[in-house]
Each structure stands twice: as structure tokens, then as C-alpha cells.
Amino acid sequence: MDDPIRRAQFSRRALLLGAGMAATGSLLAGRMAWLAVFEGETYRLKADGNRVQNRLVPPRRGWIVDRNGKPIAMNRPDYRLELRPADMEDLDATLIAIRGVIDIDLAEELRIRDDIATQPRFMPVVVRSGLTWPEFSACNVRLTTVPGVAPVQSFSRHYPESDRLAHLIGYVGAPTPEQYRADRDPLLIYPGFRIGKDGIERHEDRRLRGAAGAAQAEVTARGELVRELGTRPDQPGETLKLTIDRDLQTYAARRLGDNSASVIVMDCQTGDVLAMVSMPAYDPNVFSTRVPARLWAALQEDDHTPLLNKSAMGLYPPGSTFKMVTTLAALEAGVDPDESVLCTGAYRLGNNLWHCHARRGHGGVHMHRALPLSCDTYFYVMGRRIGVDAIAAMARRLGLGQEYDLPLPGQAEGIVPDKAWKQKRYGKDPKKAAWREGETLNASIGQGYIITNPLQLAVMTARLASGKVVMPRLIADKTMPDFPSLGIPDTHLAIVRQGMIDVVNARFGTAPAARSPVADVLIAGKTGTAQVRRISMAERRTGVLRNEALPWKQRDHALFVAFVPAGAPRYACSVILEHGISGGRYAAPIARDVLTYLFEPERALAVLPAIEADAATRRTERSTSEAAAAIAQENRRMMPSWLKIDIKPPVFEVADPDAPQPPREPE
């Protein structure tokens, strides 16, 4: 019955099959060895990556306080709900789930969808911030199982002085995707984590940021916590103490009213910047969350440039406040202070006349009267005699044309022109590159190429007042700086200081408005009124238009620099009102009040109500007229002249007229 041939054939095939099985078995064993031995390390890491969840504990941002320890930037607890698009499964379902717990209105939903569509997927999207405690706990209970939704408790930055320190301190905001790509620091995509975006917040970000802590936990695939594996506490950021005096800063900001202006107050001996105000400004509390697009547009369009830190980034011709530089340069060049110059109201160079601000002239003017009178002619003569390079050298010694080592993200360097500068600037065209005498005349009264920022003017004044190479500083540390001497003889400085005292206090000075109301404290200063437009010959003939009659943008800048007390200088100050018409009339009183505040705050505060009421009325007037203009603009927009109503008559379906009536409802 059993055929041996068949059996042999079966055996061959059986062995073949067995060999196939053995081969498969070795393949499996080899594959397993490959997974477990050669790739074992990778898979072990992956298994741990599954099992161990690293949670960041974001550090609290350091506070910023003023010189007396009053808070300038602090943290407030904030509850928010965030979406992490990378973990989310279905946006619509997620939103429905969220709606079951908190309200999201249509605008918010649109914003969320927009953010999710435009941002990279690893960036968290805020659903709503500023949740109340009951809302937050409801989210915690009912939304933790929805993937990609995270209730977050964090600290939000709060600036108690809102816009008064905005430009100096800056604000915080979410890191940009580029920053995360560059750093790969997981903290940067931690929901609600903020970094400094401007001002000191940005420059000192590393110090303020602190170091993140970490918590490791073992979790199941469904995200349930099995056990904590250990935590490393976070390291809060440092508290940053500034040299700013918060109260003085606030006072100065209020005193400016609705001007577009900058005020800087410095300590002449230590270089401490006590106040650095740039107004108008934005509210950093708004900027630290989300800025409404309309507000952003309004801030950008405002001709008072609320987004610009005028104190450090604004550039203005120094005008007559530069005359101290020319005076010192002349003294250094050996000019006799008693030498008299005849001012007839104009100075002739070639075919052109350089005018003095006094049309009839000052008569005979020597150095002691030149500053109080601010006689342009005197400085034309002296400037021409000593040359622009001597003036420029002195300007640089006094701190103009340079950036200081300050924790600000940007400073405008300004220009201190001399022959080398012009050569460099216009080198390609030899005709333009040569320095011309007329330019020296302009430079000697602080016009022409020369341009400075308000901070440089304050430093210049501090250096004049102290005779030392004062460097400004914003961050208070224990060490008292010891500045070297400027190397300018005291006799020279004394002449300049006396001139500045006379500007304010002498009968013939240009700034009687800056006289100190405080007994025994004399203010010394210098006015400046910097032209921003060319005055044509035709206009000169018919009489220069009064500044007040001009549109705001064409008015002169008003400047005033001062130090106090005149006898033993302690504080230096610079005030710039953009298009403020006249330094003596408008900038000087502001400097007077701000400096008064340092000695008698009550007296200084007493002037505020009137100024603020005035500013408020002007602000309302401005907004009503702007609103009216906007409406007018809207009304002027017309439809085209060929407009024609184009509506076709409606067409009705007519049923077959012969059709019998179908059965109807009884009427």
C-alpha cells in the first residue's frame, strides 16, 4: 500500500519545507537580535521617551525695581487656556469641547483658527487668557482628557506705571518661531512663556529670565500619572534694580502733558539716570498680551511717534544748547573771554548773510554775555576762527556723537561733523566732500549737519556741570563709579557755568521762565530752538512767520538743558519738545518743574492739575476733529458716476393652466 518512491519524494519535499521553516526561524531570530542588540539602545530611549514625561517648570521672570525698590515691572498670576496644535486631533471637535466649558465668541474663534493656520504647529495658541478661578478649575476638570488643550497657570507681566516707563522698560511677548528654531530651548514654546521684546526687558532678558526647572513623571499611554520621578526647582530671574526714580519719572511724564517730548534727568556725579521719559508712549501691559490691530495702526500713524523711544533713538539738531561746546572749544583755542564781538543782527560770509536770532543785533558781545544772550553772531565769529575740527573734538569730549554702554536695544549715534567726517560721507564727489566755511558757521550754533539725541545732551550737561567724564548708567550696582576728569581747566568750565546761570537768572538771559522757585537752589541752563525747516529769503524779507502760525510739523524744536544746584551741581537735565516752538518759553518751564520736584515735590505737583486739564481738553479736541475728519473721508467716498440700478424683474413658475385642481386642505 505504501509506495517507497512516493515516500522518498515526500521526504525530499518535507526536508525542503523543513529547510524553509528553519530559514524563517533564523530570519526571525536574526531580526529579533537586530532589534534587541544593535538597535536596542535606540529603542530603550524610545521606551523611556514614552514612559517618562518631562515637564518644564518655567521660571518666574525677575522683577524690575527703581532705585528705591519700588516695582516697575512685576508678575501677576494669570490663568489661561491654550491649544497645542501639534497634539490636537480635530480642531472643530476640540472647539466644541471647549465651548462646553467656557464661551468663545466668533471673533475669538476666528482669531484662533487664524493663528492655528498661520503659526508653526509647535507654537501654542491662546484660546483665552485672564480666566477667572472658577472657569480655570472647570477647564482643569473637564478638558484634561481632550488632547491638545491645556489649562495653564502662569504669571503675566504687569507694569504698574503703564506707559510712563514704556520705552525704557519695553515689554514682554511670546518668542518668535525663528527664535525657537535658533535656540531649540523648549522653554521658548512653553505655553505662556514670555521674553523681553524691547527696552531693558529685551536687553537684560537673560538675567530676568532665570532658569527653568523640570519635573519628571512616569505616565501611561493615556497620560495618567503613575508616579513622580523627581523635580528640579526653577530658578527665578534676578531682580533688576534700576537707577531710575519711579516717582520722578512719573512726574516728568505727567508734566509733559500731550507734548511729543523727551525728558532726561541724570546724577552729574554718579551718572545715574534718574528719569528717562519719552512721551507719548504705548501701554506695555497691552503689548505684553495681544495688541489689537486698530491700536497698532493708530500707534503707527500717530505723528507724535508713540512707538519711538525719543530719549535714545530720537535725533534732533541741538541748536543753541550746543553753544557751550563752541565756547569751551574757543577757550581751549586761546580766545580771550573778554574779547568783544559786534553783533549787528547778521554776519556776512561771501555773498550770504548769517542771521542772529536778534534781528537788530546784540551790539558788543563778549563771552560772558554770549551764552545768556545766545548771540549767534558771536559764535559765528568764534567758530570760524577756531575751525570745525576744534568744535567737533570738544563735542566728542563732552559725549556727543557716541553710544553709551546702556542696557537699551538701540541708541541713535547722531552726527558730530568735521572735515574727516564729510570726506568720508561725500568722498566720491570731491566738490561736495570739501568742508565749506558756511558749514562751520552752522555747526558753531548747533545747526547744519550736527544732530544729537536727548540722552547725549543730558550727558553733555552732566559733564559740563561736574567736569568729569560722566557715563550714564541705568542699572544700579553697589560700586560707585569714579569718573576721570574731562581735562578742561576749571576756569574755562567756570565761565561756561556762569554763563548758564545767567541764562536763567540774569536780567538779560533767554530763560527767565526756568528760574527756580526753591529758595537757595539756583538752576543753570541753556535754551535751544532748533529750526526744522529752511527759511527762504523771500520769507525773511516779508518777515519770518511766527512759529505758532505754522502747522505743527513745521514748528521749531524746543530744547533746554540744565543743571542744579548751580553752585554745587548735582543733577543734570535735558528737555526736548518736538516742534515745541521755543526753548526758553516752553522747554525751560518743564525743566524747572522737573528739577523742582527733586527738592520740593509738593510744590512741583501743584502745577500738574492745570497742565493735565489743559492736555485733556486738547486731546478731546483732537480726537473729535479726527473722528469728524474720518466721517468726512467716509462721506467723500463715492460710487462711480455710471452707477445704475440693475435689477431684473422676478420670474414666476406658472403651472399648467389646464391642470385639474389637486385635493386641497379644507379652508
- Where on the chain is the footprint of another protein (CB under 8 A)? 1-3, 5-7, 9-11, 13-15, 17-18, 21-22, 24-25, 27-29, 31-33, 35-37, 39-40, 42-44, 46-48, 50-51, 218-222, 226
Smallest distance, Å, CB 87 to another protein? 9
Smallest distance, Å, CB 60 to another protein? 32
362, 311 contact by CB (below 8 A): no
Which residue lies nearer to another protein by CB, 43 or 508? 43
Which residue lies nearer to another protein by CB, 34 or 552? 34
Which residue lies nearer to another protein by CB, 215 or 393? 215
425, 547 contact by CB (below 8 A): no
Q: How many CB atoms lie within 10 A of CB 339?
A: 14
Which residue lies nearer to another protein by CB, 7 or 425? 7
Query: 161 in helix, strand or coil?
Result: coil
38, 215 contact by CB (below 8 A): no
Which residue lies nearer to another protein by CB, 20 or 427? 20
Q: What angle do CA 129, 133, 138 make, to 5 degrees?
A: 90
Smallest distance, Å, CB 33 to another protein? 6
Which residue lies nearer to another protein by CB, 219 or 349? 219
CA 440 to CA 449: how far, in whole Å? 10
Smallest distance, Å, CB 91 to another protein? 16
Cell output for 339: 574779547
Give CA separation, 275 vs 80, 317, 320, 501, in Å: 35, 22, 23, 23
Which residue lies nearer to another protein by CB, 42 or 554? 42
Smallest distance, Å, CB 55 to another protein? 17
CA 423 to CA 444: how far, in whole Å? 19
Phi, psi values for residue 611, rounded to 5°: -65, -45
Which residue lies nearer to another protein by CB, 26 or 536? 26
Q: How many CB atoms lie within 10 A of CB 571?
A: 26
CA 601 to CA 452: how far, in whole Å? 30
CA 657 to CA 200: how far, in whole Å? 85
Smallest distance, Å, CB 148 to another protein? 12
CA 390 to CA 413: how far, in whole Å? 20
Which residue lies nearer to another protein by CB, 33 or 535? 33
Provide the pairing of β-strand 71-83 with 125-128. Answer: antiparallel
Smallest distance, Å, CB 123 to another protein? 20
Smallest distance, Å, CB 226 to another protein? 7
166, 172 contact by CB (below 8 A): no
- Using only C-alpha atoms, the chain has a radius of gyration, in whole angstroms, of 37
Look at residues 467, 472, 485, 450 and name the one whose alpha carbon lies nearest to residue 574: 472
Smallest distance, Å, CB 21 to another protein? 5
